[in-house]
Amino acid sequence: MSVFKKSMKEIATFIRNSIKLIDDKEVEGMLKVLIEAYRTTDKRKILVMGAGRSGLIGRAFAMRLMHLGYNAFVLGDTIVPRIGKEDIVIAISGSGRTKLIITAAEAAKAVGATLIALTTYPDSPLGKLADVVVRIPGRTKIAKEEDYFARQILGIHEPLAPLGTLFEDTCMVFLDALIVELMHRLGKREEEIRLRHANIEI
């Protein structure tokens, strides 16, 4: 159990320390886009995307956006509508180099959508494409094999917090906190969110 407890402490400490490293101006940039979108929610759509675990975190964030009243979708779902210049695409990639996400981000930019990138590497291909970048601390070094799917196939792991664990966990906490900030700025109460929560569940 010593490794288990050491790993939990390492992850929790990393997330706590990351609070100091996340740039307030970058967060404000993302909030500005999301708040403006809320005021025109009937027209604007938000598409969230990420590969692997980043995609699962994105899905959780999209769910909370929907609870707040946004038209939120997740890339890969069958109900994703057409995206255009009025819309917002939020891309999550620790390395900022995942090929699937880069391709989708390029498509979003091609139609004039606003692209928000959450990545550890602002100078990555994804970061350079984005209109708004929020640097989320993660691994201090990109693996030799940078593409997510290639790393999975090769079975590349790291001790205590393997692969993108630190980025993914930090990103999840960041996005949950962002939802609370949006609730505060939009004047939303938990009771209102509950009204949009699913009432037919498996």
**9 occurs within a structural domain:** yes
Q: Above 70 in pLDDT, residue 161? A: no
Asked if the structure places residue 77 within a domain, the reply is yes
- Using CA atoms, how far apart are residues 2 and 45, in angstroms rounded to an integer? 46
Number of domains in the chain: 1
> Which range is least confidently modeled, 68-77, 143-152, 160-169?
143-152
Query: Is residue 78 one of the residues assigned to a domain?
Result: yes
Residue 19 confidence class, pLDDT cut points 50, 70, 90? very high
In a domain, residue 156? The reply is no
User: pTM for this one?
Assistant: 0.88
Instruction: Considering the candidates 36, 168, 181, 201, report the single residue annotated as catalytic.
Output: 168
Rounded mean pLDDT of 88-108?
Answer: 96
With respect to residue 89, please indicate whether it lies within any of the assigned structural domains: yes
Residue 68 lies in a domain: yes
Kindly state whether residue 26 falls inside one of the protein's structural domains. Answer: yes
Residue 197 has pLDDT above 70, yes or no: yes
- Domain of 178 in residue numbering reads as 2-139+163-191
**76 lies in a domain?**
yes
Tell me the per-residue pLDDT of 103-139, one tens digit each, with 9 for 90 and over.
Answer: 999 999 999 999 999 999 999 999 999 999 999 998 6
The CATH number covering residue 85 comes to 3.40.50.10490
**For this structure, is 146 an active site residue?**
no
